[in-house]
Structure 1
Amino acid sequence: MPVIEIRSYRLVPGSGDRFHQLISQQSLPLMLAWGIDVLDFGPSLHDRDCYFLIRAFQDLTNLEAVQAAFYASPNWRNGPREAIVSLIASDSNVVIEMSHDRVEALRNRTITSNGQLAD
């Protein structure tokens, strides 16, 4: 059964807009190029300095393997990593099993294959 990871971030005060720019323009295209299934992401409605990222994986083993490879890769380490990590004050993750239908219901249809948001 698929699993989804819901990652939430508390950002450095005042950095929400910059964080969103980095995610949408650099991190998202990189994740998609690695085949990571990003369902949705963006700032919280209640606070621009809170942020979420929802990703889907085949199962927990796949999540662990994909993330280990991605976060160890030169693409990430020499790419947007430093700029993104420097804006994160804290983060938390929740991983849950979910049916394919429920995963698809969470999918933001505006995320294009090249990692940009459709207008």
Structure 2
Amino acid sequence: MSIVELRQYTLHPGARDTLIALFEREFVTGQQAVGITVGGRFRDLDDPDRFVWLRSFPDMASRARALHAFYYGPVWQEHRDAANATMVDSDDVLLLRGPGFTAPADAGPVVATICHPLDPTAFADHFERHLRPELAARTPPLAVHRTENAENDFPALPVRVGEDVLVWFATGDTAPLPDLSTHLHSAPQQLHLSPVPQPSR
């Protein structure tokens, strides 16, 4: 399991494709060069001004070193003004533990489901015993993640604190969720996402 960031950026109207082009041209290889695994990148299908992406690290210490190397390194320093000019907010970040996620080639739409359990341990057990098998017949949950509760040791980049989540991804036509109201603080949030096309290699 890795340390994973699920990052949701709110952008200025019309700026999403500008950021995606810059991200794909400069920030994927720039982060990989310092040991960051860049996962899926997505357009939010419900919000034209939202960009969603994931990155992962072997552990918290590696995360701190890699983020310092990238954000104080030449790639970000050269392009940060252009990137920041597209953004309204970049602080909606869940710090998770899990495998990370990149959509399979030709996967079609992706749904990320975010649940806030009343009892995280009990809900994780319920998920594995009941919910995963129930959903698997139609749209198997992929890449399940839970909150990483370690202190954020790169405070220059805030993460959401004081909440426990269970997050999973699914591709294609997703099955409706059963009633989970007895297990959760609030209704599950579902992000309907379109993967950013990757160049053929």
Report TM bin, short chain.
0.7 to 0.9
Aligned-residue offset at 1:53: 1.6
Task: Tell me if structure 2 keeps the 8 A contact 1:44–1:50.
Answer: yes
For 2:15 and 2:75, how far apart are their aligned partners in 1?
A: 23
Structure 1 partner of 2:42: 42
Structure 1 partner of 2:89: 90
Structure 1 partner of 2:141: none
Aligned-residue offset at 1:55: 0.5
Structure 2 partner of 1:113: none
Task: Tell me if structure 1 keeps the 8 A contact 2:30–2:70.
Answer: no
Structure 1 partner of 2:6: 6
Identity of aligned residues (%): 24
**Per chain length, whose mean CA-contact separation is higher, i.e. which structure has more relative contact order (CA < 8 Å, sep 6+)?**
1
Structure 1: state its 5+ residue gaps: 111-115
Residues 1:28 and 2:28 are matched in the alignment? yes
Residues 1:62 and 2:57 are matched in the alignment? no
Residues 1:108 and 2:103 are matched in the alignment? yes
Task: Tell me if structure 1 keeps the 8 A contact 2:7–2:94.
Answer: yes
Task: Tell me if structure 2 keeps the 8 A contact 1:20–1:43.
Answer: no
Q: Select the structure of larger CA radius of gyration.
A: 2
For 1:67 and 1:109, how far apart are their aligned partners in 2?
A: 26
TM-score, structure 1 normalization:
0.79
The secondary structure found in structure 2 opposite 1:48 is coil
Aligned-residue offset at 1:109: 4.8
TM-score, structure 2 normalization:
0.49
CA RMSD across the alignment: 1.8
For 2:10 and 2:70, how far apart are their aligned partners in 1?
A: 22
The one-letter code sitting in structure 2 at the alignment partner of 1:83 is A
Matched positions, count? 108
For 2:27 and 2:75, how far apart are their aligned partners in 1?
A: 10
Aligned-residue offset at 1:31: 1.5
Structure 1 partner of 2:110: none
The secondary structure found in structure 2 opposite 1:34 is coil
The one-letter code sitting in structure 1 at the alignment partner of 2:88 is A
More helix by share: 1
